Amino acid sequence: MMMMMKKGGHPLLRGSGRSEGDEISKYSHGFTAAEMHSLASVCEAILPPLPSDSLDAKDYDRPTKAVNLFSEISGSQAPIPDQVAELLVKRAVTEGKILVRVILLLLSTRLGTLLLCGSLCLSQKLPFISNFSCLSLEKRERTLQMWFKNRYVTPVRLAFLYIKVLCLYVVFSQVNENGENPTWEAIGYHVHNDEDPSQVPRKRPLEKGVLETIRETDSSLVHSLANKGIRATLDSKQNLLKMECDVLVVGSGCGGGVAAAVLACSGQKVIVLEKGGYFAAADYSSLEGPSTEQLYEAGGLLSSTDGGMFILAGSTVGGGSAVNWSASIKTPKSMLREWAEDYKIPLFGSPEYLSAMDTVCERIGVTDSCAEEGFQNQVLRKGCQTLGLKVDYVPRNSSENHYCGDCGYGCRKGDKKGTDRTWLVDAVDHGAVILTGCKAERFILEKNKRGSLRAKKCRGVIAKTSSNNITQMLQIEAKVTISACGALSTPPLMISSGLKNHNIGRNLHLHPVVIAWGYFPESNTEIKGKIYEGGIMTSIHDVEGTDSDVRAIIETPALGPASFSGICPWESGLDIKKRMVKYARTAHLIVLVKDLGSGEVKSERRISYELDASDRENLRVGLRQALRILVAAGAVEVGTHRSDGQRLKCKGINEKELEEFLDTVNVVGGPMSITENWIGLTSAHQMGSCRMGIDDKAGAVDLNGESWEAEGLFVCDASVLPTAVGVNPMITIQSTAYCLSKIIADRVLTKSTLP
């Protein structure tokens, strides 16, 4: 029996709708029949059909029938391989697509299979060599295990990782028209979208200011813009729809939402561009697959080019604030001191910044405690208390009674106060217009007048809508243009517009995260609930060094079944199914560090990143502490996400045995590293890629957030931060944007010449 869901929410977030203009057609991945045959064979080895008695339902307190059905599910079942191919073509970097397809093509031939599988494909019968799909399931599984461990075939390992992540993601996120998935009952998962409809806010707070271009056509757009108070004219020769405003803000997240509010409230005519869609509380479905597809950058499947870092970034009205985990932590005093003194940025040492943090916290309704904690946070708190470690509540931009584990897919209760429910409401109430489904292609830059401090002047942007029914490009001219599309998107936009400052796209900090897990059977009644229940992040522990400096912080993540399966190590088909039936009671603790290492992002979705040696050591120290906490909380088994499935059975172990295990914990390499056992990293915070600096050698923008190269072009997002923050950065981003937009507002209002 599958988990039933009441039909509710926006069709796109239920997985049952398509954008207007999209054709409902067959799969468009373009894979050949030979490639698909190989792909299906690999998917079957990743998640093989097993005898119905392979998993004992009593061991996991799950319904026998559901567990038996789950045992028999295969990764080769239609339409899983086709959906994997679609996602690969749509989301992978170019070289990743090529790599996977070449390997699949090789596996479709006997010679290629011999090259990649060695003696496992040999037999004593003609034709003596089998291609991959003709191998027994056991031999295919052994081949995948060999690829995963062999440090000399890292490209093959990376290709397998791509397929493994996508295959399991599809299996555990796909839903039918009723929001059902055949695996969920067996793994103990339930979608929380069956609230009393009267408890779900029906109001769309931004309705009067939002224009959803996906619903428009060439003929209707001018009229719709006029209804929002924007006069647009068509230049048929250039196929441009031209409009003007005082301030143009590109992006609607933590930076853009605040900037739009401050500037609209100062009396400016503001237009906000957002490439994502607009969804309100009543639209959210809490379904992992459709929600991440619509609400996250790259559909929630973004990684560094080497596959070593999995990255989450919001891409909807409200940006990250619409889908983050509510943590609202003020900028640490040590960071303010470092930025003000070492980086010589007076803003961060000013009373204005401290006041801005208070203003931000008040506007987004930050509370300091939690009335009832969910499963994972109970684990973190209990483990710390058992060990005598300090554990604090995480301030959140929601009420103290907010008990919601689905905020990563949008808050159906409307309790979490992202920019879509706060700052953007203020902006719209003061006349701002938000154009959704509208992506800035480049800034309009022209040569500046002689004698100006900057060689260029920004006049606005050229943008493109995502509607197939709009053929015109948009030209939006403004006195001031603000890039607030985040640390991953602002640099590519500036570079594609012709800006050359060497800091643009560099110094990218990601707050790298490693994860420890612990299994708590249902028989442990002291810690109640499931992994997906309760506030996502309500407890925090600082891992301190010998001189009381914070080396890492330990918090808890949101992990739906698909994300859980994607980051789990793969050892065998049976092992991954055993891990999944433990899903609901496997607690995860994330270890986050303020990274000294950094990366680059100079073109869209092409992210490189390298840890500093001290980052690896701090992650290792934090990971050891997280494992101790899980053991102290009562886990019967703990482990890391190292590729070999590193774990420890906890029953009856003594302190010496625990320490011996902890001594084996390390943070090394990635899938492309020449190491047998490696560990993947994750990130939900991106900062520093267009940092402020006292001159154009130190930063991409000046101390007011203005480009060193283009007058009138400002940056108001996380990319201006000089370094990583070391804590969840929402308050820091909003406070910085508040201060910078106040400066802009004063100068626009007084019509003074911008420096």
Using alpha carbons, select from 534, 644, 536, 649 the residue that is nearest to residue 590.
536
User: Which CATH number characterizes residue 229's domain?
Assistant: 3.50.50.60
pLDDT digits (tens, 9 = 90+) for 591-628: 999 999 999 999 999 999 999 999 999 999 999 999 99
568 with 466, same domain: the answer is no
pLDDT digits (tens, 9 = 90+) for 640-653: 999 999 999 999 99
272 with 180, same domain: the answer is no
**Phi-psi sector, 670: left (phi>0), alpha (psi -120 to 50), beta:** beta
Predicted pLDDT of residue 193: 67
| Burial tier of 340 (Cβ tally within 10 Å: 0-12, 13-18, 19+) | middle
Report the DSSP beta bridge partners of residue 707.
Answer: 701
584 with 648, same domain: the answer is yes
Of the candidate ranges 27-41, 180-194, 343-357, 465-479, the one whose mean pLDDT is the lowest: 180-194
**Extended beta strands in 385-455, E state:** 392-393, 433-436, 438-447
Predicted pLDDT of residue 183: 97
484 with 618, same domain: the answer is no
| Residue 205 forms part of a structural domain | no
Tell me: pLDDT of 4 over 50. no
DSSP classification of residue 237:
T
Predicted pLDDT of residue 7: 52
For the residues 720-729, what does the mean pLDDT come to?
A: 98
Among 683, 714, 744, residue at a domain's last position: 683
463 with 610, same domain: the answer is no
532 with 636, same domain: the answer is yes
CB 591 within 8 A of CB 622: yes
pLDDT digits (tens, 9 = 90+) for 73-126: 999 999 999 999 999 999 999 999 999 999 999 999 999 999 999 999 999 888
513 with 641, same domain: the answer is yes
Predicted pLDDT of residue 17: 53
Using alpha carbons, select from 127, 126, 123, 153 the residue that is nearest to residue 139.
123
What is the Cα–Cα distance from 135 to 622, expressed in whole angstroms?
43
Tell me how far the alpha carbon of residue 325 is from its chain's centroid. Answer: 11
pLDDT digits (tens, 9 = 90+) for 491-503: 999 999 999 999 9
| Residue 739 forms part of a structural domain | yes
- How is residue 226 written in tokens? 């006029």
pLDDT digits (tens, 9 = 90+) for 515-528: 999 999 999 999 99
CB 263 within 8 A of CB 247: yes
Residues 6+ apart with CB under 8 A from 65: 1
What is the Cα–Cα distance from 561 to 342, expressed in whole angstroms?
44
Of 351 and 192, the one with more pLDDT: 351
Report the DSSP beta bridge partners of residue 235.
Answer: 240
232 with 246, same domain: the answer is yes
What is the Cα–Cα distance from 231 to 214, expressed in whole angstroms?
19
Name the residue type at position 381: R
Using alpha carbons, select from 599, 383, 416 the residue that is nearest to residue 512.
599
Tell me: pLDDT of 736 over 70. yes
| Residue 700 forms part of a structural domain | yes
Using alpha carbons, select from 195, 391, 366 the residue that is nearest to residue 734.
366
Q: Which of 217-221, 669-673, 735-739 holds the top average pLDDT? A: 735-739
Predicted pLDDT of residue 152: 78
What is the Cα–Cα distance from 203 to 101, expressed in whole angstroms?
47
pTM of the full structure: 0.95
pLDDT digits (tens, 9 = 90+) for 426-480: 999 999 999 999 999 999 999 998 888 899 999 999 999 999 999 999 999 999 9
| Residue 5 forms part of a structural domain | no
For the residues 43-60, what does the mean pLDDT come to?
A: 94
CB 736 within 8 A of CB 361: no
Of the candidate ranges 382-391, 532-541, 673-682, the one whose mean pLDDT is the lowest: 673-682
Q: pLDDT band at 754, cuts 50/70/90?
A: very low
Q: How many domains does the chain have?
A: 3
272 with 336, same domain: the answer is yes
CB 587 within 8 A of CB 579: no
500 with 514, same domain: the answer is no
656 with 569, same domain: the answer is yes
Among 621, 656, 683, residue at a domain's last position: 683
Q: pLDDT band at 25, cuts 50/70/90?
A: low
| Residue 150 forms part of a structural domain | yes
pLDDT digits (tens, 9 = 90+) for 360-373: 999 999 999 999 99
Of 23 and 428, the one with more pLDDT: 428
Task: Tell me what percent of the residues of the chain surpass a pLDDT of 90.
Answer: 88
Among 171, 187, 203, residue at a domain's last position: 187
pLDDT digits (tens, 9 = 90+) for 531-563: 999 999 999 999 998 887 999 999 999 999 999
What is the Cα–Cα distance from 253 to 420, expressed in whole angstroms?
8
| Burial tier of 27 (Cβ tally within 10 Å: 0-12, 13-18, 19+) | middle
Predicted pLDDT of residue 753: 42
| Residue 3 forms part of a structural domain | no
Q: pLDDT band at 8, cuts 50/70/90?
A: low
203 by DSSP, 3-state: which? coil
Burial 255-266 (b: 16+ CB within 10 A, else e): bbbbbbbbbbbb
Of 397 and 755, the one with more pLDDT: 397
pLDDT digits (tens, 9 = 90+) for 26-36: 799 999 999 99
Structural domain range at position 305 = 214-367+407-504+693-753
The distance in angstroms from the start CA to the end CA of the chain is 66
Catalytic residues: 685
What is the Cα–Cα distance from 534 to 265, expressed in whole angstroms?
36
Tell me how far the alpha carbon of residue 18 is from its chain's centroid. Answer: 22
Q: Average pLDDT, whole number, for the chain? A: 94
What is the 3 state secondary structure string of 334-402? HHHHHHHHHCCCHHHHCHHHHHHHHHHHHHCCCECCCCCCCHHHHHHHHHHHHHCCCCEECCECCCCCC
β-strand 473-483 against 240-250: which pairing, if any?
parallel
| Residue 7 forms part of a structural domain | no
218 with 172, same domain: the answer is no
Helices and strands of the chain, counted as H and E runs: 24, 22
Predicted pLDDT of residue 750: 62
| Residue 206 forms part of a structural domain | no
